[in-house]
Structure 1
């Protein structure tokens, strides 16, 4: 392969590898379910883990199950989980400073798979429901900024916390060591509190209501959650508040704030400078740490522009009203799809003071949401008894594509040796590729754009005339409808039975004698995720 096509392939591989940093797919996860509602609440918890496979023949193993599960691409399976973190209690010797007290639990669930999966967890007890996006172990971090404690009437406001009264107790931090070795964790800011967490275990500690910025540092990757088992909501009711804390950022990032179902909300911000919660009049905030939307019934982690994706899996939660909130740049409202259907009649709302717009859309089944040409973000919300909960939808790709949700990128390769059309077919097959069939206008334009500047002048493509009818056909058997013949092409049967594509101008096609020599354009189509 000559230097130019090799460069094209390497640049594509680098772009794909970099984009995977911003996906939520992986093969190793550690899941926890926090204490949900007061320990005396008279109903059982119903905790579920939703696993969606991104590739065929995926084996999923769960530590709490006795056997592995086989899934194919686009299939989702739910697992019921009984393990739940217990109450955070204090010892008499530590009554004078309960914020240094922590407990360690082994009630975590370890999930591994042979190929990439995405995971969401839903905790339900009575009317209290919360969901969380679970980040794979390899994409966790060793530093997190603790969100400031919101002023919650009846819980954190109106008097000092009462640690032995669940709904009046402080918020808590949950720190999980997902894997070997032991994690040495320090909570810094107010005081330095060292915690040692063995593999597969979770530590819980109360969060001070003060204004001092606090953060978590560890000697290895850990997961951090911000939670309250029974925060007061309204009319003397309480419910779980729970969110996964995003890792500290290397740079300050911009977080567009969607008008969450048209209701006002507070924003919890925390970074190196300070921790604060604000009733933001702007619809965008900047932070190098945590940015979380707070309602009395919801903690929703915001996604920065720099980590927008192009394709998302949204798991429909039965028995609830399910809503998508989509945020995208105002110039890229076109090209969004829900499943196979283009998003129509969206009713966009401008996020004032930003270049972004937002829209809400109901869904009735598990689906993928994808953009054909740009990145965006999607939040999945659901309603339970007039109480909303939700989380960012799992990102499975950060490479927009006109064909859908791309999991495995296409491969386009121009071979170095010029040879006949028949020999080109065999040479491509030796590379586990096919001579390219350009059976759609979109693929023609896409391929032409990707190959501009290549040192080859023309390449064989996978079309020829039928020996029986003289009609042109594609090797992949797709219909021969969209064509890009150069002017005065093709000629009659005697002028050529095979076709080359020019790599200049608009990449027009010309018929040629199949025995002439040209370089093959080999291709493998991308894998597109379809939800089943």
Structure 2
């Protein structure tokens, strides 16, 4: 079993982390919070990344909501009062979200003046294997307070929620330091809630699972506490280099090394203070690093998983973001369509990075045109205690034009067809026939065809039936004749050809529109809308 889990844990290495998708599952642990007799209010915030996105929210397998959302819209879905689970055992109280197009989902739990949020991981980014951080609750309290608060037996330990992410029976293996492994058969879409006793070091499933670390009532001051949640990342998403931001004067970090990597042992669970301004941490083996503060537990983004742009959403209330960017390029960070202007950039020692805090409300996209960055999102409770998470990465590819959601792409259709058929096909299944009307677009197409077989293809250039002028089918006016790539002796007169083809040597040729060639379809780059 250990060998199998190790192999599955390595699947994520070298990939880009994606936190948007079409299928999500989560569960809500017991929220004691604040010791106040308030009823918890639990909900989901869903942000659509495309127009005409159907979103269905299920609770215990039955649909609660079914709605259509537009691009950039965020909608809150309130959940039943009994969605929280306090019992330590299996439960069917899971919440699933399924959508027709990509969305971002955040869970929200509110009780009294206590609030906690968690960005859900989509199914495609979940894993089979998770190493469990060994966190001593009483030890954490003793680092925050010289005089640790009284801890009841009921809340002396953290809890772990292992959620079956598939509609099939899932065999869950719990690995402990001092005992034999335990295997539990978990029902479809169900979850198992465990009390961690400092002996559990890993959990794995025969199918994908989501794993949440939680505490129902993490003390912040005497007789005041906050529920904390941290959705664990699978071992395959871990890293070796971390740029750690500083949040407040009671911030600590905890490093967990996977128990599966060769010659690696899990960190003993010690807490070390983060230096003012932040710091750089390297580990010998792939690790997970957490920021721990009263009321908050956040996994630090490994440096190799920095992204080009992030989505943050605060609704009508104000919050703040921590932006980490390369010091030499920090003046090029954008918030939506405007440059981030800040005088509080702080250089992080022993790194090429700086960090800045910016106050925001509503929805924003934070991006960099040429470099990768990291973004964390925070709000404050009425007590002043921060809570939050990493922001949602939208794209791994820096682009000068904005937050590039999907890059431009060419496709050669293998079926030869006429120019008119090619135009209709590409308009239906892509955006358009390829239109190399500028030097930049021509070079992009040349790079695409560099490895293609020598051939002749259709492009989106033809003559007007009324004026006989050449024009591009994407709606542009007549060809900019300061840039053209006609073959020798081309274009011929209209009787020789009303449509244009392109050879693999990237020269154009005027030919009859009834000829049959393979079309080159083009998908324009897709950018997330800015405010």
TM-score of the superposition, structure 2-length normalised? 0.76
Answer yes or no: is 1:323 the counterpart of 2:320: yes
Of the three residues 273, 290, 293, the one matched with 1:279 is 273
Matched position secondary structure for 1:256: strand
CA gap 1:183/1:405 in 2 versus in 1, 3 angstroms: farther
CA gap 1:220/1:440 in 2 versus in 1, 3 angstroms: same
Give CA deviations for 1:319-373 in whole Å, capped at 9, x if unaligned.
3x22222234456547643333344457543322223333333332213333444
Q: Give me the whole-angstrom Cα distance separating, in 1, the residues matched to 2:64 and 2:414.
A: 52
Answer yes or no: is 1:25 the counterpart of 2:20: yes
Answer yes or no: is 1:76 the counterpart of 2:70: no
Answer yes or no: is 1:248 the counterpart of 2:235: yes
Tell me the equivalent position of 2:4.
Answer: none
Tell me the equivalent position of 1:363.
Answer: 360
Q: Give the CA deviation at 1:223.
A: 1.7
Q: Give me the whole-angstrom Cα distance separating, in 2, the residues matched to 1:264 and 1:426.
A: 66
Tell me the equivalent position of 2:523.
Answer: 524
Give CA deviations for 1:94-147 in whole Å, capped at 9, x if unaligned.
xxxxxxxx4333322122223332211111111211111111233222222222
CA gap 1:349/1:424 in 2 versus in 1, 3 angstroms: farther
Matched position secondary structure for 2:377: strand
Higher relative contact order (CA 8 A, sep 6+): 1
Tell me the equivalent position of 2:177.
Answer: 189
Answer yes or no: is 1:130 the counterpart of 2:116: yes
Tell me the equivalent position of 2:262.
Answer: none
Answer yes or no: is 1:379 the counterpart of 2:376: yes
Tell me the equivalent position of 2:312.
Answer: 314
Tell me the equivalent position of 2:93.
Answer: 107
CA gap 1:183/1:57 in 2 versus in 1, 3 angstroms: farther
Equivalent residues of 1:32, 1:109 under 8 A apart = yes
Q: Give me the whole-angstrom Cα distance separating, in 2, the residues matched to 1:251 and 1:121.
A: 23
Tell me the equivalent position of 1:59.
Answer: 54
Q: Give me the whole-angstrom Cα distance separating, in 2, the residues matched to 1:451 and 1:346.
A: 47
Q: Give the CA deviation at 1:401.
A: 3.6
Equivalent residues of 1:38, 1:230 under 8 A apart = yes
- RMSD (Å), alpha carbons: 4.3
Query: How do 1:486-501 and structure 2 match up within 5 A?
Result: none
Matched position secondary structure for 1:363: strand
Matched position secondary structure for 2:376: strand
Q: Give me the whole-angstrom Cα distance separating, in 2, the residues matched to 1:467 and 1:38.
A: 73
Matched position secondary structure for 2:422: helix
Q: Give me the whole-angstrom Cα distance separating, in 2, the residues matched to 1:111 and 1:171.
A: 26
Q: Give me the whole-angstrom Cα distance separating, in 2, the residues matched to 1:176 and 1:43.
A: 27
CA gap 1:513/1:175 in 2 versus in 1, 3 angstroms: closer
Equivalent residues of 1:245, 1:290 under 8 A apart = no
Q: Which moved more, 1:127-136 or 1:220-229?
A: 220-229
Matched position secondary structure for 2:397: coil
TM-score of the superposition, structure 1-length normalised? 0.76
Tell me the equivalent position of 1:221.
Answer: 208
Answer yes or no: is 1:259 the counterpart of 2:257: no
Q: Which moved more, 1:60-69 or 1:492-501?
A: 492-501
CA gap 1:520/1:29 in 2 versus in 1, 3 angstroms: closer
Q: Give me the whole-angstrom Cα distance separating, in 2, the residues matched to 1:481 and 1:359.
A: 47
Tell me the equivalent position of 1:204.
Answer: 193
Q: Give the CA deviation at 1:181.
A: 0.9
Q: Give the CA deviation at 1:440.
A: 7.2
Matched position secondary structure for 1:485: coil
Q: Give me the whole-angstrom Cα distance separating, in 1, the residues matched to 2:159 and 2:144.
A: 12
Tell me the equivalent position of 1:269.
Answer: 255
Please list every run of 5 or more consecutive structure 1 residues that lacks an aligned counterpart in the other structure.
1-16, 89-101
Equivalent residues of 2:47, 2:73 under 8 A apart = yes
Tell me the equivalent position of 1:10.
Answer: none
Please list every run of 5 or more consecutive structure 2 residues that lacks an aligned counterpart in the other structure.
1-11, 260-264
Equivalent residues of 2:172, 2:203 under 8 A apart = no
Whose strand proportion is higher, 1 or 2?
A: 2
CA gap 1:213/1:183 in 2 versus in 1, 3 angstroms: closer
CA gap 1:428/1:499 in 2 versus in 1, 3 angstroms: closer
Query: How do 1:474-513 and structure 2 match up within 5 A?
Result: 474-478=472-476, 485=483
Query: How do 1:350-429 and structure 2 match up within 5 A?
Result: 350-385=347-382, 386-413=384-411, 424=419, 426-429=421-424
Count the aligned residue pairs: 490
